[in-house]
Amino acid sequence: MIAIYLLFILMLSVFVGFELIRKVPATLHTPLMSGANAISGITLIGALSMAGGESGQWATWLGAAAAFFATVNVVGGYMVTDRMLAMFKKR
């Protein structure tokens, strides 16, 4: 049952995602891509519970590695996007 409930959430979010990016000017393609990329670093919150949990040594280490990678993606992603957009404004 929980699978169905999760699929329900998935379906709704997909539609929201489609609708959000309907009309976007060409200049924003790259920043938008970069910004969305930073959001995909949300894996971090999954990684946190693996890195701090107690389901075996390997699971913890992989969780810590995942948390590291995801943090690089999140922090780097948001900062690069901000730099791109800051550059935009000056022009």
Q: If binding is defined by CB under 8 A, does position 91 make contact with other proteins?
A: no
| Least CB distance to other proteins at residue 72 (A) | 4
DSSP-derived 3-state class of residue 51: helix
| Least CB distance to other proteins at residue 76 (A) | 3
Cβ 10 vs Cβ 18: under 8 Å: no
Binding-site size for other proteins (CB under 8 A) equals 80
Q: What's CA 66's distance to the chain center, in Å? A: 13
Q: How many residues does the chain have?
A: 91
Binding map of other proteins across residues 26-65, x = CB under 8 A, - = no contact: xxxxxxxxxxxxxxxxxxxxxxxxxxxxxxx-xxxxxxxx
Cβ 46 vs Cβ 66: under 8 Å: yes
Q: If binding is defined by CB under 8 A, does position 1 make contact with other proteins?
A: no
